[in-house]
Chain A
Amino acid sequence: MTTRDRLTIRLTVNGEAHTVEISSNLMLVDLVRERLNLQGTRVACDQGACGACTVLVDGRPITACLSFAFTADGAAVLTIEGVAGSDNTLDTVQLAFHDSGVPQCGFCTPGMVLLAKAYYMQQPMPEGADVERWLDANICRCSGYQVFRRALHSTPPREDAP
């Protein structure tokens, strides 16, 4: 067996500061799911093809199954557990998804929520066609995607996006 480099990284996850010692080949999704016990992030294809593992790193959506954990050193990571308010009130995207009936099996849902959220954080005045370009990154095998259109066309642009 090879010995691998170990290193210490500092990051915030959902606003909480963490200092963790990791091996250099640890993937961000494993850091989140196994070390920090935040199991809402899903692993589906594990190849960067589906976006089920999407988390936001400094507001940018990335596929955590394909990102080394050390690349998040010094970053602010947002996972699905950090999206709803502390009293578990749904945020705008979650609420729009809830009202439109987005979740079916729900396995793609956390990634889709974060992807849409990242879009609204970057585009305070969203255009329908543009959000679709973003959502094209992720796969939902259960829905016909039309439900995402219905949900997001009802979501008002957020000016107070964190």
Chain B
Amino acid sequence: MNIRTNTLTQVGQSIPDVDSRAKLTGSARYTSDIVIDEMLHAKVLRSPHPHALIRSVDVSRALAMPGVAAVVTGDDLTALDFTYGMFIRDQPVLAKDKVRYVGEPIAAVAASTEELAWRALAEIRVDYDVLAPVSSIAAALDERAPMLFGDELHASALPPPPPNSTWTQEPSPNILFDFNHGFGDVDGWFQRCHHVFEDRFTIGRQSHCALEPHVSLARFVADHAVEVWSNNQDPFLLRQDIARIFRLKLDDVRFHAGLVGGGFGSKSYCKIEPIAVLLARKARRAIRLALTMSESMMTVCDHGAEIWLRSGVSASGETLVREAVVNLDGGAYADASPSVAMRIGTRFNGPYRWRAVRSRVRVVRTTTIPAGSFRGFGAGHVTWACESQMDMIARRLGRDPYAIRADNFVRLGTAGAPGESVLDSDLMEGLQTVGERVGYKSKERVPKRGIGFAVAVKGGGGSHRADARVRVWASGAVSLAAGVTEIGQSTRTVLTQIAAEVLNIDPDRVAVEDIDTDTTPFDSGTHASNGATVAGLAVREAAEKARVRILEFAGGILQCTSAELDFCNFQVRRGENRYLLADLVAQRGPGVDTMFAGEASVQTGSGSFFWMPVWTAVEVEVDAETGAFKILRLINATDAGRAINPQRCVSQIEGAAVQGLGQALFENLAYCEAQPLNATPLKYRLPRISDVPHQFETIILEQGHGPGAYGVKGLGESGNLTIPAAIANAIADAVGARVTDLPITPDRVLKALGVASKPNTNVTRTVEAN
């Protein structure tokens, strides 16, 4: 295929998001705006108990209310394959016999208005046998702990373990998944290394809090065929789930997806869609099930975790051997936890070279909100522990935390661990960039002020299939179809720019189709920052095929080979001559298709298709009296490979950084005893503009090694990973206090100040380059 190599006109341009005007004027439409004629409104009854047997559910009074059309409970699931979960299917569509967390759906009502549906919920009588809760990892692992499940294994669809790994599904009822990974002679290296450091880190639960809560609409178009609208980022995976659960043929399930009001992981994989379908089937009417944000917060959250790291280094600080033990709080049900555990377990080498690494990650079941995917998919957990410890090791050895990182980096073009794909970024360039920007070498030390660094590398785009179709009409319009969901990452814009680049046209001419699984080319899900990279390759190839078809057609009319022709602005060019494509088509007369289409499919392998690095430098000032601290400067750099739209890259990285800032400073979905404390937007603290330091800089490097079209690679999940560790490291640099629990609250800093042996460890900033 002939990809032209002339200078790029669209790629690299910071055009506004293609939906920018619609979003600014209020004409953009989201799933929450969809109204179907005659639709009913649904509401969900949720468990007030963390753990209880359901003796009976009496819905008769609710059903008797005028305007209530249907009520569904666990009893309606009997004929269905009624559980779901990404790899291990342990979550029932509605609680059956037992509830396992506060907020678990027990029943759902469909009524003529939302208000009536709310009122009907109050008329449902549930008789519970309350059981002891299992509120924490420690409680779940206790020998006498109550069990959330029986001994039987759930249905599963686990992929083969990644290289050098093994896993066990549900080794005991309160442990969902036990993942083990390793390479090299761990025990031998621990004996041979000079220093061994052992530290423990914890991390609270973060809540996604996308502004658009989950919403699904469903209607049966025949007894056996259902149509669903959902603000989920996996329409094609959802189609499979609904077909399996309701025993329908795959092609009798049709999913629609339009603009999604934010996700950050909360809208991946099956969520509330089966409840809407179940009600639609029972009521024989269209159903709209819209959650409140509080309900969304009780649907899924990120994993709380405890992480032990034991790391061995040489006398000079060469990273040699590491062992990690992780307990993830998976909440009541699997959701994406096994996959998150695998990602965590395989990433403890981080951005450094190690001779041997061993890890064990267990997903522990507790009677709390199910934990699932969250931006970074566990990479934030790994980075919090590893990048904190990297600093601690440097300070203990009296070495410069900057230099010890530089010394141990995995090099561009080499693999960080056996079986991994090679690194496609130059880590040293990124560290130097943020180091120079923050003035690490040049700045004079000021008391109570410190600078901290953190670096991470997350894999992206693996095991993914993306198809695309590009259609060019002679009249001057282009239609682009791909299955990547637009959740605010500007995929529609970036794909438009790629198509416009190939076709040599103005991006305004391209319209991106909304997703409809009946007509949109397949995509295995908007995950792992793969949109621009993997779908981008498919779009480029599809557009190139359409272009070739146009040139071949024109060659037929102009009696020349297509190699003599070029296509630009809907004109075919031959030397100095210009022919409007519309005129060429008209010349051929009726019976000629006026549309030229190209289709393409891209499948990536199982490892990381690309690597997302992020480098962070933070400067803080700490008040040693109170433990309060102020972030004076935050510098975040990443590598886009090639930025298709630099402005949209900056948006992603800035937004991710502030999500990381929230996690570092205050975000924590907490439990008091067995009850959620702040699973509601009024009580859950989210970052606001006043939390963001004014000196907040984002740098998008374009190192050019990405595997995507024009060298692009994804970056959307990188920007948040390093923020918490960089802040903790800066605090340690300022006052010697080391906080190892997230969030880093002033009282934790104060407590750490109490145990800090010296007020300042006073590391010399040597900056030994390379």
Contact = CB atoms under 8 A, between A and B. Distances in A.
A148 B264 CA distance: 21
B681 A50 contact: yes
B696 A144 contact: yes
Contacts of B26: 38-41, 79-81, 83, 110
Contacts of A6: none
A103 B20 contact: yes
B688 interface: yes
B647 A144 contact: no
Nearest to B688: A136
A146 B680 contact: no
A71 interface: no
A68 interface: no
A105 B262 contact: yes
B654 A144 contact: yes
Given A101-B14, A104-B651, A132-B689, A141 B490 contact: no
A142 interface: yes
B180 interface: no
Contacts of B209: 141
A113 interface: yes
Interface string A91-124: 0001001110111111111100100000000000
Interface string B632-669: 00000000000000011011011111110000000000
B260 interface: yes
Given A46-B292, A80-B25, A144-B658, A106 B689 contact: no
A45 B119 CA distance: 20
B271 to A, nearest CB: 17
Interface string A122-162: 00000000001101100111111111110000000000000
B460 interface: no
Interface band, chain B: 35 or more
Given A45-B293, A104-B651, A109 B24 contact: yes
B146 interface: no
Contacts of A110: 24, 26
Contact of A146 (B19, B654, B659): B654
A34 to B, nearest CB: 9
Interface string B11-41: 0001011011111111111101100000000
A43 interface: yes
Interface band, chain A: 35 or more
B487 interface: yes
Given A40-B26, A105-B212, A47 B681 contact: yes
Interface in B74-101: none
Interface string A45-86: 111111010000000000000000000000000011101100
Contact of A143 (B65, B658, B682, B690): B658
A81 B33 CA distance: 15
A43 B24 contact: no
A141 B654 contact: no
Contacts of B681: 44-45, 47, 49-50
B213 interface: yes
Contact of B692 (A49, A99, A144): A144
A1 interface: yes
A3 interface: no
B24 A94 contact: yes
A79 B27 CA distance: 12
A9 B590 CA distance: 60
B489 A139 contact: no
A143 B211 CA distance: 12
A90 interface: yes
A109 B23 contact: yes
B704 interface: no
Nearest to A106: B23
Given A47-B682, A142-B262, A147 B211 contact: no
A134 B487 CA distance: 27
Interface string B218-252: 00000000000000000000000000000000000
B417 interface: no
B211 A105 contact: yes
B77 to A, nearest CB: 29
Contacts of A88: 21, 25
Contacts of B14: 101
A101 B647 contact: yes
Of B657, B688, B690, chain A has the most CB atoms within 10 Å of the CB of B688
A72 to B, nearest CB: 18
Given A43-B32, A106-B23, A146-B654, 15 more contacts: A1-B65, A39-B26, A40-B26, A44-B211, A44-B261, A45-B211, A45-B293, A81-B26, A90-B24, A101-B14, A106-B28, A132-B689, A144-B656, A146-B696, A147-B654
12 contacts: A44-B681, A49-B682, A50-B211, A84-B24, A94-B25, A101-B16, A101-B651, A104-B651, A105-B262, A139-B688, A145-B658, A149-B694
Interface of A: 1, 38-50, 52, 79-81, 83-84, 88, 90, 94, 97-99, 101-110, 113, 132-133, 135-136, 139-149
The 6 nearest A-B residue pairs measured at CB: A40-B26, A105-B488, A144-B654, A106-B23, A80-B26, A107-B261
